[in-house]
């Protein structure tokens, strides 16, 4: 019993055993489910199942045509700034708690700093011309 108390106080490998065990069980479960579904699943390969299906529209031309990178850049920037908005939610939910604990001003300036970092990133993106369309 004394050994368990010593192990809990220090950062030893035995403290990571539950995490390793859970990870091993999760990986094992995934592997077993994939193997079982592969062995027991139906395997009927017909011509209709093997052709490409694109939203009900017949495929025309080569799918490997070069595409403008601007679309993907705007999508990634949208995700980046959308995640920023997600980080405002905990602040908005806990705003009354911060005020009650007399932490309102400190937290407010931390949020202003957070917004300033993202604003600097947005200004950088605009100056680099990432949002300008050439076509």
Task: Indicate the domain borders of the chain.
Answer: 2-50, 69-128
Give pLDDT, residue 8.
53
Q: Quick one: pLDDT band at residue 100, thresholds 50, 70, 90?
A: confident
Q: Quick one: pLDDT band at residue 3, thresholds 50, 70, 90?
A: low
Q: Is the pLDDT of residue 4 over 60?
A: no
Q: Which of 132, 30, 19 is nearest to 77 (CA)?
A: 132
Residues 6+ apart with CB under 8 A from 125: 77, 131
pTM above 0.85, yes or no: no
- Tally the residues of the chain: 135
- What whole-number distance in Å separates Cα of residue 99 and Cα of residue 105? 8
Q: Which one is predicted more confidently, 98 or 33?
A: 33
Q: Which of 75, 76, 110 is nearest to 90 (CA)?
A: 110
Query: pLDDT over 70 for what percent of the chain?
Result: 85
Give pLDDT, residue 135.
59
Distances (CA, A) of 110 to 61, 94, 133: 53, 14, 35
Give pLDDT, residue 37.
93
β-bridge partners, 57: 54
């Amino acid at each position: 019993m004394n050994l368990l108390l010593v192990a809990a106080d220090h950062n030893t490998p035995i403290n990571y055993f539950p995490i390793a065990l859970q990870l091993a069980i999760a990986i094992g479960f995934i592997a077993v489910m994939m193997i079982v579904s592969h062995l027991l699943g139906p395997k009927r390969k017909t011509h209709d199942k093997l052709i490409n299906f694109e939203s009900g529209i017949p495929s025309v031309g080569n799918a490997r045509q070069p595409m403008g990178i601007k679309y993907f850049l705007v999508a990634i920037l949208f995700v980046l700034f959308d995640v920023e908005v997600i980080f405002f939610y905990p602040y908005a939910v806990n705003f009354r708690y911060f005020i009650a604990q007399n932490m309102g001003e400190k937290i407010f300036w931390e949020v202003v700093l957070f917004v300033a970092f993202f604003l600097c990133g947005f200004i950088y993106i605009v100056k680099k011309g990432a949002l300008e369309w050439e076509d």
